[in-house]
């Protein structure tokens, strides 16, 4: 169970990280540590944290402050509120910051965040811009309590089902598609009961996932199909539940039906044809919008290299085999169609995954880019389960060379993370061909040597202000979305799609735009991740403005925030 759930978290976390690194930009106003205090005064941010219900101040709330555009590896400054709910961040260098707060029993929030907290740690909300010596006051939070969902899981004989995972799931945008993702989970006890807490207000679905293969021979192995409340197998037939702030709702009795399942067995061989023991085998359904339910059973090969994956329901499954780790890892995979019988005799031969090597070529002023702040990611297109199987990316070496190794077979795109500044990827070349915005087909043992990634410092800059549609007031925390005017350049991941949020003054700034034709709009309630959906972008075309920045050009526009379109 823990293996499967941690793998799900890894997949989601990795993808969200990729999205955040590739599609979020911000205004950077870095301080200069070499300047004297007479030229640069340090700033202060103060405020209070209250409970939304009743408005009482909250002590022991933890606030975290980080520079906008920082990476997860950058440690934030943290502080706790006093007995009056007050906090103060002192000695801040001028710049832009993201401020967030957490407290036990309440939903975490970013300052100015629209909507409720989702499964990811988005840099969404209102960026706080502080000037030299400024005292930014009354930056207050009003936190809402998480909801609770309780119930019981039984089998068709009304007997409790223990140690199965119950999840509260909601739809969110992931890699341009609506995916059903977990917002909370619990494991049933010996009475079949579960209690899931800390759920943000909203509409959700309850699901029960069968436990993975249990290797204890003293325990009975029973297979259950993934089931949604009130006891159906398809999400389209499931009942939606509403969770309110601080509300506790119970009585959700879910009956799971024991299903006829099948097994796939075979053996794993080394490249030399010898039995490969202790190889991890994982199964994954090939399709579906419920990411958690796609995670299948897992096992290991024995001393003879043999394996048996039980509990597979009818459908198409992909088996992954992996031995070792890091650059020495070996892998194999195969697709099987489970219909109405066990499958046997499958042979998987381990080998090295695909590898891409090359170098970063910095042009003009981009030659001053710090190599330690450049990294690469290789993102699969159309199969998000490949996100966390094998290596995912590469740090750039001091000589600007890189190597991405051990990737399973699939179709990928290269993404490059650059430090803050006006840099952009101008082209990616391999064997004399431009592959900048083209997917790359990789097979086991493929070697793409000599890939060159060109970086230019002549990106375009785009800045301005955003007002609310009513009252012409500044729009704090509005999302400014810039995307290519060419629909063919919108597929995830696209270097032409960029977002940023306005600060407390309604101001925004983007830099490092690839020269070209764009559409731009401001949205009051944009859900992070939807900008990767081509249909969503298509719905914004009519109300967007057109800009056509050339290399090194600076453009300014005043925008009006409009509601985000509703999508089915």
The model's pLDDT over 345-404, given as tens digits with 9 standing for 90+, comes to: 999 999 888 889 999 998 877 678 888 888 888 887 765 555 545 445 677 889 999 998
Confidence grade of residue 24 (pLDDT, cut at 50, 70, 90): very low
On the question of pLDDT at 241 being above 90, the answer is: yes
* Residue 111: predicted pLDDT: 92
Confidence grade of residue 18 (pLDDT, cut at 50, 70, 90): very low
User: In the predicted model, what is the mean pLDDT of residues 262-289?
Assistant: 87
- For 460-560, CATH number? 2.60.40.1120
Cβ–Cβ < 8 Å for 290, 207: yes
* Residue 14: predicted pLDDT: 46
* Residue 251: predicted pLDDT: 92
Query: Which stretches of 341-384 are DSSP H helices?
Result: none
* Residue 153: predicted pLDDT: 94
* Residue 115: predicted pLDDT: 66
* Residue 483: predicted pLDDT: 96
More confident residue, 442 or 514: 514
Alpha-carbon distance of 54 to 342, in angstroms, equals: 59
On the question of pLDDT at 119 being above 90, the answer is: no
On the question of pLDDT at 28 being above 60, the answer is: no
On the question of pLDDT at 177 being above 70, the answer is: yes
Confidence grade of residue 68 (pLDDT, cut at 50, 70, 90): confident
Cβ–Cβ < 8 Å for 298, 281: yes
On the question of pLDDT at 1 being above 70, the answer is: no
* Residue 421: predicted pLDDT: 83
Whole-Å CA distances, 496 to 22, 23, 325, 375, 403: 10, 9, 34, 18, 25
Per-domain boundaries in the chain: 1-145, 147-255, 262-348, 353-456, 460-560
* Residue 509: predicted pLDDT: 93
* Residue 508: predicted pLDDT: 94
Alpha-carbon distance of 263 to 311, in angstroms, equals: 6
* Residue 566: predicted pLDDT: 79
On the question of pLDDT at 553 being above 90, the answer is: yes
Mean pLDDT of the chain, nearest integer:
83
Report pLDDT digits (tens) over 281-314. Answer: 988 876 666 666 666 678 899 999 999 988 788 8
* Residue 439: predicted pLDDT: 87
On the question of pLDDT at 212 being above 80, the answer is: no
* Residue 496: predicted pLDDT: 94
Report pLDDT digits (tens) over 503-545. Answer: 999 999 999 999 999 999 999 988 888 898 889 999 999 999 9
Say if residue 52 is exposed, middle or buried (CB neighbours under 10 Å; 0-12, 13-18, 19+).
middle
Whole-Å CA distances, 20 to 14, 95, 121, 383, 500: 10, 20, 9, 19, 11
On the question of pLDDT at 266 being above 80, the answer is: yes
Instruction: Check if CATH label 2.60.40.1120 holds for domain 353-456.
Output: yes
* Residue 140: predicted pLDDT: 95
On the question of pLDDT at 192 being above 60, the answer is: yes
Say if residue 368 is exposed, middle or buried (CB neighbours under 10 Å; 0-12, 13-18, 19+).
exposed
On the question of pLDDT at 326 being above 80, the answer is: no
Question: Do 262-348 and 147-255 fall under one CATH topology?
Answer: yes
What is the value of pTM for the model shown? 0.79
Our CA angle for 394, 501, 290, nearest 5°, is 60
Q: Domain 1-145 class?
A: mainly beta
On the question of pLDDT at 17 being above 70, the answer is: no
Alpha-carbon distance of 346 to 321, in angstroms, equals: 12
Take residue 390 and report the two structure tokens written for it. Answer: 């094998």
- The domain 262-348 is placed in CATH, from the list 3.40.50.2300, 2.60.40.10, 3.40.960.10, 3.40.980.10, at 2.60.40.10
- The domain 147-255 is placed in CATH, from the list 1.10.10.10, 3.40.50.300, 2.60.40.1120, 2.40.30.10, at 2.60.40.1120
């Amino acid at each position: 169970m823990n293996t499967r759930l941690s793998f799900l978290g890894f997949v989601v976390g990795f993808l969200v990280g990729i999205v955040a690194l590739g599609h979020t930009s911000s205004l950077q106003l870095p301080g200069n540590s070499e300047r004297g205090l007479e030229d640069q005064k340090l700033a202060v941010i103060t405020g209070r944290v209250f409970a939304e219900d009743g408005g009482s101040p909250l002590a022991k709330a933890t606030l975290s402050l980080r520079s906008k555009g920082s990476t997860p590896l950058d440690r934030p400054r943290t502080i706790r509120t006093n007995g009056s709910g007050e906090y103060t961040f002192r000695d801040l260098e001028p710049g832009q910051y993201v401020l967030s707060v957490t407290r036990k029993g309440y939903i975490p929030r970013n300052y100015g965040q629209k909507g409720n907290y989702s499964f990811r740690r988005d840099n969404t909300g209102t960026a706080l811009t502080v000037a030299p010596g400024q005292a930014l006051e009354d930056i207050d939070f009003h936190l809402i309590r998480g909801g609770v969902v309780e119930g019981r899981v039984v089998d068709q004989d009304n007997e409790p089902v223990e140690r199965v995972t119950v999840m509260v799931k909601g739809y969110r945008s992931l890699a341009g598609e609506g995916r059903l993702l977990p917002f909370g989970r619990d494991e049933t006890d010996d009475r079949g009961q579960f209690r899931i807490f800390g759920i943000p207000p909203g509409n959700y679905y309850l699901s029960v996932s069968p436990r993975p293969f249990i290797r204890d021979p003293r325990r009975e192995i029973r297979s259950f199909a993934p089931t949604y409340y009130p006891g159906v197998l398809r999400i389209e037939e499931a009942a939606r539940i509403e969770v309110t702030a601080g509300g506790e709702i119970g009585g959700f009795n879910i009956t799971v039906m024991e299903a006829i399942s099948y097994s796939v067995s075979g053996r794993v061989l080394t490249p030399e044809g010898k039995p490969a023991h202790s190889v991890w085998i994982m199964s994954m359904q090939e399709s579906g919008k419920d990411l958690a339910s796609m995670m299948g059973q897992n096992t290991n090969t024995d001393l003879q290299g043999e394996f048996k994956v039980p509990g597979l329901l009818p459908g198409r499954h992909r088996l992954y085999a992996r031995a070792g780790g890091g650059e020495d890892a070996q892998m194999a995979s195969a697709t099987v169609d489970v219909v109405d019988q066990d499958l046997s005799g499958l042979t998987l031969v381990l080998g090295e995954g695909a590898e891409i090597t090359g170098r970063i070529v910095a042009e003009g002023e981009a030659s001053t880019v710090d190599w330690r702040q450049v990294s690469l990611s290789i993102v699969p297109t159309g199969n998000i389960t490949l996100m966390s199987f094998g290596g995912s990316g590469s740090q750039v070496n001091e000589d600007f060379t890189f190597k991405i190794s051990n990737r399973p077979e699939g179709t990928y795109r290269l993404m490059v993370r650059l430090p803050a500044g006006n840099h952009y990827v101008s082209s990616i070349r391999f064997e004399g061909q431009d592959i900048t915005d083209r997917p790359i087909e990789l097979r086991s043992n493929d070697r793409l040597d000599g890939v060159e990634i060109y970086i230019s410092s002549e990106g375009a800059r785009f800045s301005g202000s955003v007002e609310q549609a009513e009252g012409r007031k500044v729009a704090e925390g509005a999302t400014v979305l810039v995307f290519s005017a060419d629909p063919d350049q919108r597929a995830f991941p696209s270097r032409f799609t960029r977002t940023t949020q306005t600060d407390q003054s309604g101001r925004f700034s983007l830099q490092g735009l690839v020269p070209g034709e764009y559409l731009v709009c401001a949205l009051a309630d944009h859900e992070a991740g939807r900008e990767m959906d081509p249909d969503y972008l298509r719905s914004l075309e009519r109300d967007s403005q057109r800009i056509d920045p050339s290399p090194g050009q600076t453009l300014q526009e005043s925008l009006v925030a409009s509601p985000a379109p509703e999508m089915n």
